[in-house]
Structure 1
């Protein structure tokens, strides 16, 4: 990891003021803190959502896929903790790139499925007739399409990274981007920013506006009003997770990428550290998404309550 703290740029050496020990400690503690909560909450969410889907509950397929993405991402956290504790990647570089690929896959599938949940709630609210005739297989088809398209798009993040010699193996956000042609860099940045941040932000803003508009129009019927409030709560929760977890990373990404391309060492030192912090913040969505299921899906909350009651009764019987 010495390349993060002592950089060779344009025939000159620049020493970062960030201490390697502090750097490693921050990230090791960060991923260790979210590993256990993320593993437990997503394991429980997968189990509950799977049982609900088997009972043909609607509007839960996207949540189930979101939980799968989070669970797969959480499984890479022990490897990240190990890496930051020992300041070196002990496995083959190909395995590191695989873990990095799953990190980006989780980030962007999470963004897309959060948007899918918001769009679906908004459309079902505005057009209840369509909600009655919407079939579960449509959500399954959309989910498969999301996994394939996002999976193909995330390949560019892996192939744009440099591989290092065997005696020095950085991994995850410490792997530097290749000094590629400016046109290629602009294409990657434009694609990731448009599809991963700007377009989802526009969509989620429109969904929020349409739902609030429906709430203002339906002030007479308490049942309709409560239904709109639940939909608005879902969309606002998705918006909060999106802005908190993914906005900082995408705001920092263009500056970080330009600093790498220009090899501007003083900026790169700070932006590299910020990039790692913001990727850690993006990983926090693994712990936050289960709260969306609990607070917005009535079936999920009722199922969890019944299971908790049964578990409590079993323990009391012992």
Structure 2
């Protein structure tokens, strides 16, 4: 009877993992063309002299790097086997989580840039330059790279649980160890969400007040949709992950939900430009 119960349990786990293989496969199939086409349009038809474009190009690159890590997840969830080394597992996982963090930061940069463009269009002109935008994104990539390498080197050599990778497993520990990085992620994500909330409130207040500086803002509905979409991505895709991590648990549904952001981000590009498909030399207001 015990053997039968164990076999049934293992069969249920296999079936659930296969469901996640399909879900991650769908995210990859949708996110790859959306971000690849968006990146091509941003580079080909919109000038990198715009800080908004600089942030969005880096966001698209971040999403594409996240998508690159998904094929191995699909393979593992479909077969239940990790055929490569533990280091390869760590690198692939680091690529996934690092680019979720960088995406949250770049989205916040976009919110702050839109805030300055709408609320302080004249006073912020000297700040909203492509040079300053690159100065902002450059250190982010450097920090993410250093953090990923350090974690990979520190954990390198540890075999994946039961020779698999990305698969949560039960633990007998009554009090699972929680990494300090989990608390740092929660603080970072909560802080970035707070910044987006403040930006959204200030822009909404400015647009509704019809202040002189914001009177010439075009497509006000699109402007607000950018902020609404940013808040949606943060609350649905980014925030649940660090909350789960500080509990010491692992959750495939939350991980899957986090990856969905790469499919939602291309909407930001569309709403951020009055004519996304048309070539522009000057950033719209």
TM-score normalized with structure 1 length = 0.75
Counterpart residue number, 1:238: 230
Counterpart residue number, 2:216: 224
SS of the equivalent of 2:163 reads coil
Counterpart residue number, 1:164: 159
Cα drift, residue 136 of structure 1: 0.8
Cα drift, residue 207 of structure 1: 0.5
Write the distance in 1 (CA, Å) between the matches of 2:192 and 2:11.
34
Query: Structure 1 residue aligned with 2:261, among 285, 288, 300?
Result: 285
Write the distance in 2 (CA, Å) between the matches of 1:143 and 1:222.
27
SS of the equivalent of 1:233 reads helix
Whether 1:24 aligns to 2:25 is no
| CA offsets 1:21-46 (integer angstroms, 9 cap, x no match) | 22221211111111111111111011
| Mapping 1:36-51, distance limit 5 Å | 36-51=29-44
* Structure 2 unaligned residues grouped into runs of 5+: 281-285
Q: Higher relative contact order by CA 8 Å / sep ≥ 6: 1 or 2?
A: 2
25 and 216 in structure 1: CA distance in 2 versus 1, 3 angstrom threshold: same
Aligned-residue CA RMSD (Å): 3.2
Whether the aligned pair in 1 keeps the contact of 2:23 and 2:256 (CA below 8 Å) is yes
| CA offsets 1:223-244 (integer angstroms, 9 cap, x no match) | 5354554432211111111111
Write the distance in 2 (CA, Å) between the matches of 1:60 and 1:144.
15
Counterpart residue number, 1:316: none
224 and 38 in structure 1: CA distance in 2 versus 1, 3 angstrom threshold: same
SS of the equivalent of 1:90 reads coil
| Mapping 1:1-318, distance limit 5 Å | 19-54=12-47, 56-133=49-126, 134-154=128-148, 158=152, 159=154, 163-164=158-159, 168-172=162-166, 174=168, 185=178, 187-195=180-188, 197-218=189-210, 223-224=215-216, 226=218, 228-255=220-247, 257=248, 271-272=249-250, 275-303=251-279
Write 1 or 2 for the structure with the bigger share of helix: 1
Write the distance in 2 (CA, Å) between the matches of 1:128 and 1:106.
30
Counterpart residue number, 1:12: none
TM-score normalized with structure 2 length = 0.83
* Structure 1 unaligned residues grouped into runs of 5+: 7-14, 258-270, 305-318
135 and 205 in structure 1: CA distance in 2 versus 1, 3 angstrom threshold: same
Write the distance in 2 (CA, Å) between the matches of 1:200 and 1:213.
20
Whether the aligned pair in 2 keeps the contact of 1:49 and 1:64 (CA below 8 Å) is yes
Whether the aligned pair in 2 keeps the contact of 1:215 and 1:229 (CA below 8 Å) is no
Cα drift, residue 85 of structure 1: 1.4
Whether the aligned pair in 2 keeps the contact of 1:295 and 1:301 (CA below 8 Å) is no
Whether the aligned pair in 2 keeps the contact of 1:125 and 1:211 (CA below 8 Å) is yes
46 and 246 in structure 1: CA distance in 2 versus 1, 3 angstrom threshold: same
Cα drift, residue 206 of structure 1: 0.5
Whether the aligned pair in 2 keeps the contact of 1:62 and 1:143 (CA below 8 Å) is yes
Cα drift, residue 156 of structure 1: 6.5
SS of the equivalent of 1:302 reads coil
| CA offsets 1:114-148 (integer angstroms, 9 cap, x no match) | 11100111122221124433321111111111111
